[in-house]
Amino acid sequence: LAYGTSPNGSEISTLEIMEVTDACSPQDNTDNPQPLEHASVRLLPERISRTRAASVAWLPDSSGFYYTRYPRPGDVPPGEEVYHRHVFLHKIGEAGNTDGMKDAEIFGQGMHPEHWPSVKLSEDGRWLLVKVEQGWARTEMFLNDLKNPQADFVAVTTGQDLLYDGEIFAGDLYITTNEGAPRFRVMKVACASPQRENWKEIIAESDAVIEEAQVIGRQLFLRCSRNAVSQLRIHALDGALTGEVQLPAPGTIFSLGGNWESEQAFLGFTSFVIPPSVYQVTLDGRVTPWARVESGIDPERYQAEQIWFQSKDGTQVPMFVVSRKDMVRTGRTPALLSGYGGFNVGRTPVFNRNAMLLLLERGGVYADVQLRGGNEFGEEWHRAGMLEKKQNVFDDFIAAAEHLIASGYTDPEHLAIQGGSNGGLLVGAVITQRPELFRAAVSQVPLLDMLRYHNFQIARLWIPEYGSAQDPEQFRYLYQYSPYHRMLENVKYPATLFMTAESDTRVDPMHAKKMAALMQSAAENHSGTDSDRPILLRVDTRAGHGAGKPVAKLADDAVDFWSFLFWQLGVSID
């Protein structure tokens, strides 16, 4: 087992290796296998640093793995240490190489420093696939025949402003792509001749977005999304549909597990009323519960409806609204609206125990909107919310708030908004564009200075999504919505809580700090500012962007988050 550890939530990780043997019981009790009492676990001496978000592909005999990391210090120009991610081969137990710095470099020389490779290896160990992400709207794939020591990587696809992903099995490459299909389709080609003219479509585009195709038990499992709700389909290797899996409820598949020789698949599933759960899926599509997080919540008390509204330019946008079944629309109900809208990331039903027990149980409403910039309706939806079209995202969110008010759920005095990272930018943008629409806002680990964001941490990776102020045309639209540059004097802004962390190596804490300072200064200079509209800054210590945050810190975050919102929305805590 290879796993990464990061100090203080920094995401600057070290790869460690654990040898695990006899960890699971024999398969004579497949309904409920239990760990053996005498499982053997041994931590190996390897400590490979510079492996942030490592992609790992094990050799079939477990003697080593291909993986990604940054080159050694000094091998890249000064200031470039957080870029130049390359592919290496590590052999376990190699003398004098426990730090991996003598590992052979397999791929990456001459590659653009901000491109992001990942690795997959065929089940027989012959074919190595490297996928190189160039932002969130373009990928390239390269294939190497490891059986031929003289062979070099062959470009499967390159130079196309399109997305590609691959899965290898039995000498064939299965390619999921938006080429000629904004909601994606699946192509098949022999690894020995992967040129584009040899590709054959085996699964056509449909009204559901194909998010992942994985070979499990010698079949293709397709994880799809239709109207922001997950679907799971099973296909034969020639593309023929063999089954559609009946999921427990409208919700989200957050993980799909299994490999080519598995006798079943496992899926991670959640919804607004189902906590994170694992289900076993037979190869003919039957679903049975395997394990779940116990929540103590009765799902029958709650309802989730998907409603559609019209954005500023006439686009129809969906939103989930979650409440108690006995909730009555008074037009003054405390409501929390959340969104993201970027990086090809979809917002789908996810269990939120805090919102249910704290907000919904006090008669409140939680709304989650599927903004442009995500992947809910394919790549066209994503591209409609990036670069010069980013304002669409903010318009969608504002229209969602207006719809909640017009539909009698709430009013501006009882409406709060929340978002993190790119969603923190969303919150910053809408409170500067429509401050009168919201009572309170929580902006978590946000980007807020969009003219200088690319100068900090790993943010140059996001230029393909946002653009750069160094480009005159991109400067113009970035300046039009950059929250830090949209602040005005003599404007009454919502009560705002900025939440950031000292060890955030993804979005620099400077964004939240300088925005909070600017808003506090504006509030002090605004004679009409009420004392109940505070601008607060919360800086966590020994924490980062959020990944791997320990439970105690999550609890601290939740206490401050909900205390702030309840204070501002007038929700009593009995």
To the query of whether residue 414 is one of the catalytic residues in this protein, the response is: no
Long-range Cβ contacts of 525-530 (<8 Å, 24+ apart): 525/489, 525/490, 526/489, 526/490, 526/491, 526/492, 528/490, 528/492, 529/492, 530/492
Which pair of tokens denotes residue 164? 């590609």
Cα distances from 220 to residues 85, 309, 506, in angstroms, run 30, 36, 35
To the query of whether residue 382 is one of the catalytic residues in this protein, the response is: no
Q: Which residues contact 565 (CB under 8 A, 6 or more apart)?
A: 336, 359, 416, 440, 442, 571
Helix, strand, or coil (residue 206): coil
* Radius of gyration of the CA atoms of the chain, in A: 25
CA dihedral 92, 96, 98, 104 (to 10 degrees): -70
Residue 4: phi, psi to the nearest 5? -105, 145
Q: What is the DSSP letter of 372?
A: B
Phi-psi region of 572 (alpha: psi -120 to 50; beta: other; left: phi over 0): beta
Q: Which residues contact 456 (CB under 8 A, 6 or more apart)?
A: 508, 510
Sign of CA dihedral 15, 21, 25, 28: positive
Cα 167 from Cα 122, distance rounded (Å): 8
Contact predicate 318/228, CB 8 Å: yes
Distance from the Cα of residue 186 to its chain's centroid: 22
Strands (E) located in 335-401: 335-338, 365-369
Catalytic annotation, pick one of 86, 414, 511, 545? 545
Catalytic annotation, pick one of 421, 443, 468, 503? 421
Which pair of tokens denotes residue 268? 């991670």
Which pair of tokens denotes residue 138? 């373009």
State the catalytic residues. 421, 545
